[in-house]
Amino acid sequence: MERAIIFDVDGTLAETEEGHRRAFNLAFEEAGLPWRWDRDLYHQLLAVTGGKERIRYFIEDFGPQGVPGDDLAEFIRALHAGKTRAYADIVKDGDVELRPGVRELIAAARERGYRLAIATTTTPANIDALLQATLGQPARALFEVICTGDSVPRKKPAPDVYLRALEELGLPAERCVAIEDSRNGLLAAHAAGIATIVTPGVYTIGETFDEAALVVDDLSAIEFATIEALFG
């Protein structure tokens, strides 16, 4: 039976979170809000996956100025839309590169007839901006199945996005391997029964990855045969 490799996006395909952090701050400035997320605060806020959920977490737990009294959901949605526009510009400027070994692993998997999928918390717009800027192609040209955060009821660490990827691939978990950068992502893939390789990133190094099948600095550190051995 066929095999598939399911990639996370942020922190896994590329170190994108500094770009996201800059985009959030540009959106806050554009909205006239006195909010600035520095690296330490952003590291704390990354406990919550999803940009809209992260903004809500900041509002509810850090009580910033400038929050409107009504329609908080619309306020957050509009703010996040501005952030997504800012992020696309940052990525298009070439400020974000693929992590080591990512390009090579995608090519090696395609040569061997592996199916490729994405299971991410971010949005289709962000994925396309990143892949267009780094691989010169839209996500759909390389990844047969693309499951994004807003398309499932619960974001990572819930398994929803990985279960949706298995469903759309039509494969059992043991015929897939997931690649992640964070504990939230590892928990999501593990709960879906998928063997997971973790390549910790700048914001996730030091997290606990006990459930991982393999933890490596980055994908250039492993042979394809090592990945093949992880399939059921």
98: left (phi over 0), alpha (psi -120 to 50) or beta: beta
Token digits for 116?
A: 């490729």
Catalytic residue, from 8, 128, 160, 181: name it: 8
Tell me the number of residues near ligand XBP by CB under 6 A: 18
Q: Which is nearer to ligand XBP, 49 or 196 (CB)?
A: 49
In the complex, minimum distance from the CB of residue 161 to ligand XBP, in angstroms, rounded to a whole number: 8
Task: Name the site residues for Mg ion (rule: CB under 5 A).
Answer: 8, 10-11, 181-182, 185
In the complex, minimum distance from the CB of residue 1 to ligand XBP, in angstroms, rounded to a whole number: 27
How many CB atoms lie under 10 A from the CB of residue 224? 14
Q: How many CA atoms lie within 13 A of 198 on its CB side?
A: 25
User: Angle 134-139-140 (CA atoms, 0-180°, nearest 5)?
Assistant: 150
Q: Which is nearer to ligand XBP, 215 or 229 (CB)?
A: 215
Site map 37..66 versus ligand XBP, x via CB under 6 A: ------------xxx---------------
Site map 6..35 versus ligand XBP, x via CB under 6 A: --xxxx-----x--x---------------
Q: Which residue is at the shortest CB distance from ligand XBP?
A: 51
Distance CA 217, CA 130 (A): 21
| 8 assigned to active site | yes
In the complex, minimum distance from the CB of residue 120 to Mg ion, in angstroms, rounded to a whole number: 7
Q: Which does 196 bind (CB under 5 to 8 A by kind): ligand XBP, Mg ion, none?
A: none
Q: Which does 190 bind (CB under 5 to 8 A by kind): ligand XBP, Mg ion, none?
A: none
Distance CA 84, CA 210 (A): 33
Q: How many CA atoms lie within 13 A of 154 on its CB side?
A: 10
Distance CA 10, CA 73 (A): 24
| 71 assigned to active site | no
Adjacency order of strands within the sheet including 115-119: 145-147, 115-119, 4-7, 176-180, 195-198, 214-215
**Is residue 196 a contact residue for ligand XBP (CB under 6 A)?**
no
Q: Provide CB contacts within 8 A for 90, sequence distance 6+.
A: 19, 22, 23, 96
Cβ atoms of 147 and 175 within 8 Å: the answer is: no
Q: Which residues in the 85-144 window bind ligand XBP by CB under 6 A?
A: 120-123, 126
Q: Which does 156 bind (CB under 5 to 8 A by kind): Mg ion, ligand XBP, none?
A: ligand XBP
Residues recognised as catalytic = 8, 10
Sites of contact with ligand XBP (CB under 6 A): 8-11, 17, 20, 49-51, 120-123, 126, 149, 156, 182, 185
